[in-house]
């Protein structure tokens, strides 16, 4: 489908020669020559956005004043928050977020028919790629059968979803599906889909070159920033609007420059670097800002390392973490098999349009910070936030302090006495650093009796796009496994080990290096190509280990090479989760205990009974680089991606129907027609004041979208479990919340249902509970339904960084379907705020130093918010009245976080999809 550009005024349109072809492009230097502003001082990342303005300037949606505003941004020291309409070139999805997006598109086809429109109007106008990567679960591990058995179970569990996606692939134009077992969406995007500079025909049939840009329905879409592709995560609803041709309404962002100098020292990895970057940027405060990395140190940062840093942008809170185009970019495009003409176009375009990083590059930034990479030390992050950076030599001590805090005032049970009473003969094992705070338990496992205690590492997983895209750390992990195997070391029997690469290319180079055999030997067998542990698909622990943890209330530990370690995400049996490099994941599997200082303590005995230390098995950078050079080849990338959309026999065997609209199966527990567009009026309404709302939950700081809408497994005692049980679904077939995002009935029941969420309306209770209309404790879902029956609107109170983490549209959808009209927090993370608006839920922020605590909110109050009706201005303050249980009232001001005029229209329509649907119906 041709791209539609704005006016061709010939002011900024130029041509360039590259790869033997002549292509048109929109020139930033030409815009400067035409008197539109001074743009050469802009950061590269803003030049990408500026080019978007030049290309789509039409005098209406994008004006010359929008273009001039970028010059004013530089003049004002990196600040000019003007609202602009930005149009990304394409959309990336994964299946957890993609299924509900395709469900919404299918529902919109039904909706437009009911409004008298043409269902063919509902089609992506921008290219959409959906990569199925979130559905594989680690049921089987540590043996050669693991991969095939997990794949078989994946298809058994998800056939309804895969049938639906295959229907979508044939029903919608401009929509491609990358089948299961191929890789993780961000790695496939980085290694294959992305081009850095795109080219396509415009409406006049002329080829136009422009920067590769995208939005994705996964927050780690930012990974591709490492290849100078501007992309970030949005909610599924915002992505649907983008693919239906709606521009993304945004403010010209502030850009923080992060200067890198020096180079990494021996013994450190890209993971160590990114964990330090996350810590520094979280402390700096970059929420809703762009971050651009610059400095001569970039010459020493391979693109795989850049992608690792870009990937973690959601963890440091930024919209993106961008790296400009340079020689490193070109080398990566060549290595990963991009065609020569594309590579020549990237270089020619970047140099012609002022986007090439030259030595000494130092543009205007809103603010800056600097890191000498030579100061970075080995580290991990945890136990529950990515920004909680811990130097590796302090990890054991820090864990001990964490346990002490968890156990304070909670005496631990004497597990040895109970074991003896049950006829066992324990052999107590000392716990390094224990001062009587650690709980203990004993397992009678297949390899004999052993002790487990607070700090026992029960999951060690090399997983996620963050690190498995980086051959330096993956080869490093393989070499650690090789050296450990040669010395006779093995994983501890209570550690569930797994290897889930982000693409098949990783397996190709691990096998070519002979390292997969070494990883297999200590339990890191291939379990699948997908997110697995990182998204909560860690699968069940061995029954006796799970029982020991739960019987003794142990603080079980996971160590994973992922990007997320929020509470309740990784496994219901694990309370402390640590992010680490793949080589460290292997090392911790050998030790099996977070209480052990692996920088100094013995990891075990070799075949001759000698102690083995970390330094004995840690590879040098020279060893790693030599193997990367030898085994990570252009040919491997070209071979593995040759038939990327065809899939295996299982995928090709998935049967589906050929129809414009979807024939919703009434018995399906995976895919249901959502209620968003039922009985929808042809015209939008007006925003209404919130009157006499009751409080559904009071939540603390850093409540993540995982807390609001968990992705992992759930039990039959939960509302979602009860719903499935009532429909004769056995607990073994529950799968996960993430896999059931196409069914609103399951997801409503799963909203605010994370096992670690804490509602401050209740005293010391964990899980999705609140007080219902009768004042009794009940599930949040049941209470919300009870309030809905009475016609009572609901509000949520929260602390700082509300909605941090994944770009999870169901965190907003579920909130809306529960009847919540407003969320009042100290501040919001960017994506979740946008998602709430996209579902018609209004976000508000406290002003004047007010907080839920200073106001004494208990949940017994009623809340009214006025000033919303009529001429509500974006970002305006509005009055609110809190009526306490004793009848007293307090008047406060809230900042309405409807940020733009377009967002106001979304809320007036009931949400962004309603807005799009009405406009398409009118145009029919």
Task: Kindly give the residue spans of alpha helices, DSSP state H, lying in 312-355.
Answer: 313-316, 327-335, 340-352
Instruction: Give percent above pLDDT 70 in the chain.
Output: 96
Average pLDDT rounded to a whole number, residues 479-488: 97
DSSP conformational letter for 716: T
Contact between 392 and 584 (Cβ < 8 Å): yes
- Secondary structure (H, E, C), 529-585: CCCHHHHCCCCCCCHHHHHHHHHCCCCCEEEECCCCCCCCCCCCCCCEEEECCHHHH
Across the beta sheet with 21-26, the strand order is: 13-18, 21-26, 207-211, 197-201
pLDDT of residue 238: 82
pLDDT of residue 10: 63
Contact between 346 and 213 (Cβ < 8 Å): no
Contact between 200 and 151 (Cβ < 8 Å): no
> Nearest 5°: phi and psi at 758?
-125, 115
Contact between 478 and 513 (Cβ < 8 Å): yes
Average pLDDT rounded to a whole number, residues 267-280: 94
- DSSP reduced 3-state for 466: helix
pLDDT beyond 60 at 411: no
Average pLDDT rounded to a whole number, residues 821-846: 94
CA distance 354 to 38: 12
Dihedral (C-alpha) 398, 404, 407, 410: value to the nearest 10 degrees? 180
Residue of higher predicted confidence among 490 and 809: 490
> Nearest 5°: phi and psi at 546?
-60, -40
Contact between 320 and 230 (Cβ < 8 Å): yes
First to last CA, the chain: 19
pLDDT beyond 70 at 262: yes
Confidence of residue 778 (pLDDT cuts 50, 70, 90): very high
Helices 303-311 and 270-284 pack at an angle, to 10 degrees, of: 40
pLDDT of residue 301: 96
pLDDT of residue 889: 97
pLDDT beyond 60 at 359: yes
- Count of CB atoms situated within 10 Å of the CB of 755: 17
Element (H, E) at 294: strand 290-294
3-state DSSP helix/strand/coil percent for the chain, to nearest 5? Answer: 40, 20, 45
- DSSP reduced 3-state for 636: helix
Confidence of residue 121 (pLDDT cuts 50, 70, 90): confident
CA distance 567 to 100: 24
pLDDT of residue 9: 54
For β-strands 690-698 and 611-612, DSSP reports them as: unpaired
DSSP letter for each residue of 184-205: -HHHHIIIII--SEEEEEBTTS
Matching CATH topology for 90-375 and 384-632? yes
Helices 340-352 and 327-335 pack at an angle, to 10 degrees, of: 170
Region for 830 from its dihedrals, namely left if φ exceeds 0, alpha if ψ lies in -120 to 50, beta otherwise:
alpha
| Low-confidence winner among 197-201, 393-397, 719-723, 733-737 (lowest mean pLDDT) | 733-737
Residue of higher predicted confidence among 720 and 60: 720
What are the extents of the domains in the chain?
A: 13-86, 90-375, 384-632, 690-923
Closest to 215 in 3D by CA, of 316, 328, 124, 116: 124
For β-strands 379-381 and 389-391, DSSP reports them as: antiparallel
- How many CA atoms does the CB half-sphere of 771 hold within 13 Å? 15
CA distance 34 to 68: 11
- DSSP reduced 3-state for 90: strand
Fold classification of 90-375 (topology level): Aconitase; domain 3 (3.30.499)
Instruction: Give percent above pLDDT 90 in the chain.
Output: 72
Element (H, E) at 806: none
Strand partners, 321: 291
- Count of CB atoms situated within 10 Å of the CB of 218: 31
pLDDT beyond 70 at 418: no
Closest to 454 in 3D by CA, of 424, 428, 434, 474: 434
CA distance 238 to 838: 7
For β-strands 367-372 and 255-261, DSSP reports them as: parallel
> Nearest 5°: phi and psi at 139?
-80, -40
- Count helices and strands (H / E) in the chain: 32, 34
Q: What is the rounded radius of gyration, in angstroms, for the C-alpha atoms of the chain?
A: 27
- The mean pLDDT of the chain is 91
- Count of CB atoms situated within 10 Å of the CB of 61: 13
| Low-confidence winner among 368-377, 618-627, 707-716 (lowest mean pLDDT) | 707-716
Cα–Cα separations (whole angstroms), residue 451 to 412, 417, 596, 709: 15, 13, 15, 35
Confidence of residue 8 (pLDDT cuts 50, 70, 90): low
CA distance 89 to 91: 7
Fold classification of 384-632 (topology level): Aconitase; domain 3 (3.30.499)
DSSP conformational letter for 733: G
Strand partners, 354: none
> Nearest 5°: phi and psi at 105?
-65, -45
- Say whether the peptide bond before residue 383 is cis (omega within 30 degrees of 0): yes
Closest to 604 in 3D by CA, of 477, 432, 485: 485
Element (H, E) at 108: helix 95-114
Closest to 64 in 3D by CA, of 75, 53, 72: 53
CA distance 447 to 248: 57
- DSSP reduced 3-state for 893: strand
| Sign of the torsion formed by the C-alpha atoms of 237, 238, 242 and 245 | positive
Contact between 618 and 624 (Cβ < 8 Å): no
CA triplet 403, 805, 838: central angle to 5 degrees? 145
Average pLDDT rounded to a whole number, residues 906-921: 90
Contact between 674 and 744 (Cβ < 8 Å): yes
Confidence of residue 231 (pLDDT cuts 50, 70, 90): very high
pLDDT of residue 337: 95
Average pLDDT rounded to a whole number, residues 689-695: 98
Fold classification of 690-923 (topology level): Aconitase; domain 4 (3.20.19)
pLDDT beyond 70 at 312: yes
pLDDT beyond 70 at 425: no
CA distance 24 to 16: 6
| Low-confidence winner among 305-309, 508-512, 786-790, 807-811 (lowest mean pLDDT) | 807-811
Confidence of residue 2 (pLDDT cuts 50, 70, 90): low
pLDDT of residue 1: 56
- How many CA atoms does the CB half-sphere of 502 hold within 13 Å? 31
Label residue 594 exposed, middle or buried (CB < 10 Å: 0-12, 13-18, 19+). buried
Quick: pLDDT tens for 595-631. 999 999 999 999 999 999 999 999 999 999 999 999 9
Confidence of residue 42 (pLDDT cuts 50, 70, 90): very high
pLDDT of residue 413: 57
Confidence of residue 414 (pLDDT cuts 50, 70, 90): low
CA distance 78 to 902: 24
What lies within 8 Å, CB to CB, of 914 at 6+ separation is: 676, 677, 680, 684, 840
Confidence of residue 426 (pLDDT cuts 50, 70, 90): low
């Amino acid at each position: 489908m041709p791209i539609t550009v704005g006016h061709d005024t010939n002011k900024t349109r130029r041509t360039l020669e590259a790869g033997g072809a002549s292509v048109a492009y929109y020139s930033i230097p030409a815009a400067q020559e035409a008197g539109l502003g001074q743009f050469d001082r802009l950061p590269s990342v803003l030049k990408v956005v500026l080019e978007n303005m030049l290309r789509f300037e039409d005098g209406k949606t994008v004006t010359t004043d929008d273009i001039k505003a970028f010059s004013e941004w530089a003049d004002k020291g990196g600040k000019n928050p003007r609202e602009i309409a930005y149009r990304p070139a394409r959309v990336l999805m994964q299946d957890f977020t993609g299924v509900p997006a395709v469900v919404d598109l299918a529902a919109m086809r039904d909706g437009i028919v009911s409004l008298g429109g043409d269902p063919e109007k509902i089609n992506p106008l921008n290219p959409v790629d959906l990569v199925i990567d979130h559905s594989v679960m680690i049921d089987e591990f540590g043996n050669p059968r693991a991969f095939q058995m997990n794949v078989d179970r994946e298809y058994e569990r998800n056939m309804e979803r895969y049938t639906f996606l295959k229907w979508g692939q044939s029903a919608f134009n401009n929509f491609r599906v990358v089948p299961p077992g191929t890789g993780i969406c961000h790695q496939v995007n980085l290694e294959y889909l992305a081009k850095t500079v795109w080219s396509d025909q415009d409406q006049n049939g002329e080829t136009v070159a422009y920067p590769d840009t995208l939005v994705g329905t996964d927050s780690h879409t930012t990974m591709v920033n490492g290849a100078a592709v501007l992309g970030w995560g949005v909610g599924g609803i915002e992505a649907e609007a983008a693919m239906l041709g709606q521009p993304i309404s945004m403010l010209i962002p502030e850009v923080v420059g992060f200067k890198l100098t020096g180079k990494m020292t021996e013994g450190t990895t890209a993971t160590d670097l990114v964990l330090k970057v996350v810590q520094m940027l979280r402390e700096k405060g970059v929420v809703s800002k762009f971050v651009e990395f610059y400095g001569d140190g970039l010459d020493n940062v391979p693109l795989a390392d850049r992608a690792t840093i870009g990937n973690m942008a959601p963890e440091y809170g930024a919209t993106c973490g961008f790296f400009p185009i340079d020689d490193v970019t070109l080398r990566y495009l060549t290595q990963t098999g991009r065609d020569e003409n594309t590579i020549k176009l990237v270089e020619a375009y970047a140099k012609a349009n002022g986007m090439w990083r030259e030595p000494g590059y130092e543009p205007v930034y809103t603010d800056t910070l600097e890191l000498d990479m030579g100061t970075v030390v080995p580290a991990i992050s945890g136990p529950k936030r990515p920004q909680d950076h811990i130097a590796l030599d302090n990890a054991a001590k820090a864990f001990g302090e964490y346990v002490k805090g968890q156990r304070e005032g909670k005496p631990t049970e004497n597990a040895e006495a109970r074991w003896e009473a049950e006829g066992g003969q324990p052999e107590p094992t000392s716990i390094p650093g224990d001062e009587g705070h650690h709980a203990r338990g004993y397992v009678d496992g297949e390899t004999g009796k052993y002790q487990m205690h607070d700090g026992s590492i029960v999951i060690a997983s090399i997983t996620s796009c963050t690190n498995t895209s980086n051959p330096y750390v993956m080869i490093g992990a393989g070499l650690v496994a090789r050296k450990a195997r040669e010395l006779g070391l093995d994983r501890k029997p209570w550690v569930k080990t797994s290897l889930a690469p982000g693409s098949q290319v990783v397996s190709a180079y691990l096998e070519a290096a002979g390292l997969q055999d070494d990883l297999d030997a200590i339990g890191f067998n291939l379990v699948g190509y997908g997110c697995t542990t990182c998204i909560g698909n860690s699968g069940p622990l061995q029954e006796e280990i799970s029982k020991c943890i739960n019987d003794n209330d142990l603080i079980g530990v996971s160590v994973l090479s992922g990007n997320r370690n929020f509470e309740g995400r990784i496994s219901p049996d694990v309370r402390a989760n640590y992010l680490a490099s793949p080589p460290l994941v292997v090392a911790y599997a050998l030790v099996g205990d977070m209480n052990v200082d692996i920088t100094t303590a013995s990891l075990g005995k070799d075949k001759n009974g000698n102690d083995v230390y970390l330094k004995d098995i840690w590879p040098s950078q020279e060893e790693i680089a030599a193997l990367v050079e030898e085994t990570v080849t252009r040919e491997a990338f070209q071979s593995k991606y040759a038939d990327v959309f065809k899939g295996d026999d299982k995928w090709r065997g998935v049967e589906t129907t050929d129809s414009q609209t979807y024939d919703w199966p009434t018995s399906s527990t995976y895919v249901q027609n959502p209620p968003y567009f039922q009985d929808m009026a042809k015209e939008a309404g007006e925003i209404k004041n919130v009157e006499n709302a009751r409080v559904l939950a009071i939540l603390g700081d850093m409540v993540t979208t995982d807390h609001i809408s968990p992705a992992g497994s759930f039990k039959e005692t939960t509302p979602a479990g009860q719903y499935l049980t009532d429909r004769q679904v056995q607990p073994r077939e529950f799968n996960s919340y993430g896999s059931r995002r196409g069914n609103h009935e399951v997801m409503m029941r799963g909203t605010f249902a994370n096992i670690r969420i804490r509602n401050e309306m209740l005293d010391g209770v964990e899980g999705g509970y609140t007080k219902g209309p009768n004042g009794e404790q009940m599930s949040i879902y049941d209470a919300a339904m009870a309030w809905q029956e009475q016609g009572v609107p609901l509000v949520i109170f929260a602390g700082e960084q509300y909605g941090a983490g994944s770009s999870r549209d169901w965190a907003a959808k579920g909130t809306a379907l529960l009847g919540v009209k407003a969320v009042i927090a100290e501040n919001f993370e960017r994506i979740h705020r946008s998602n709430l608006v996209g579902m018609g839920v209004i976000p508000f922020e406290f002003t004047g130093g007010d907080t839920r605590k200073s106001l004494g909110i208990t949940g017994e109050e009623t809340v009214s918010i006025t000033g919303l009706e009529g001429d509500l201005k974006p970002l305006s303050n509005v009055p609110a009245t809190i009526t306490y249980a004793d009848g007293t009232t307090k008047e406060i001001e809230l900042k309405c976080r409807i940020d733009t005029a377009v967002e106001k229209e979304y809320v007036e329509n009931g949400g962004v999809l309603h807005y799009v649907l009405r406009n398409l119906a009118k145009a029919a």
